Chains A and B, each alone.
Chain A
């Protein structure tokens, strides 16, 4: 396989029949985990952020899904659910011009310098 084809497959084509990695319906799978779990504060905030972005018309859940699918199978294996959501929300906000990466990077540095805890990171 040449490098262009290899790149194309990594981008989400998992099979020669055109099935993309996330399109799992009908595939063999192990048992469904049935354990309940609570969500961390930051995870609830990511969920709320998606609702805000949709409500303000920045992008829709379709854009979220598209970005999640385009991350590929490696991300699905190595990142948690809301880590992937956060990356997908950011991808859409950058694409829609809501902020620039320069603005995001600057802001992240400012907040990181306040401290590691939620309390320290609060404004003021």
Chain B
């Protein structure tokens, strides 16, 4: 059975409040190393996303063009046969 220790939550809260909260913007260069994230992976990821989406869209567009051109060729054949039959 779990028994809460009286005042434990009060101790935790007071421990947190002893560290002053950040109230204004701090430049990255002034933050401690443990609070900094490496920028390069995020930068590379952002550029990669843009390139992948752009090339992906071109690929999708060319696939849709192929489908439409195929439909157009089929219809022209069928209509050509109909005209010949008449």
A and B: interacting chains: no
